[in-house]
Amino acid sequence: MKPTCVRITLLLFLSGFLTGTHLHAQANPIYQIEANIVYHFTKYINWPDQDQPGDFVIGVIGNSPAYDEMMKLMDTRMAYGKRITIKKFPANSAGFTCQILFITEEARACLKRVAGETAALPVLIVSEGAGQARKGASIDLALSDEHLKLEINKTNIERHKLEIASELLELGTIVN
């Protein structure tokens, strides 16, 4: 080892490690992107009960780092002038009182049942993984060709009495 190399190593390590008190550890960007995409849905979907009092609730079923990213992101965000609350639901929950229901990849087995139980409710079901919009989700987030892509089932969205903006339809693939 050369002394010069050792000096550089120590200097850069010290400069990095000692100045880290206000820094953020890196999170996986896929989940950051997922959280931000879910937030954007609040701008492109019309809920019929948006004038009702109370928080705008995003429910999450299953475990995913996307939950933590939503918690961080939505803390400072509003939807329809309301505070956004992230609420975790067990897969066998009796009811899903939320505007968006995010089903993680881990919990996808319950998608069909949850879609049936919420069929009459104004709930946008968003699921991780390709092919879920054909199985009951309103929109799924599919990782394909190194990008996250949207698969949108317009029929499912309308079944939940929601309106989707044409701009959002143009950004995804319609899989009715």
Spatial separation of the C-alpha atoms in residues 1 and 5, rounded to whole Å = 7
User: Which residue lies nearer to another protein by CB, 49 or 106?
Assistant: 106
SS3 150: strand
CA–chain centroid gap for 162, Å, is 18
Buried b (16+ CB within 10 A) or exposed e, 93-108: eeebebbbbbbbeebb
Q: Minimum distance from CB of 57 to another protein (Å)?
A: 20
Helices and strands (H, E) in the chain, number of each type: 6, 10
Binding site for another protein (CB under 8 A): 1-2, 4-6, 8-9, 11-13, 15-17, 19-26, 28-30, 32-33, 36-37, 40, 44, 73, 105-106, 108-109, 129-131, 142-150, 168, 171
The residue (of 5 and 94) whose beta carbon lies closer to another protein is 5
Min CB(37)–another protein separation in Å:
5
Q: Which is nearer to another protein, 65 or 121 (by Cβ)?
A: 65
Compute the least distance from the CB of residue 149 to another protein, in Å: 7
List the one residue out of 104, 150, 122, 117 whose CA is nearest residue 46: 122
Judged by CB, which is closer to another protein: 73, or 91? 73
Q: Closest approach of Cβ 93 to another protein, in Å?
A: 20
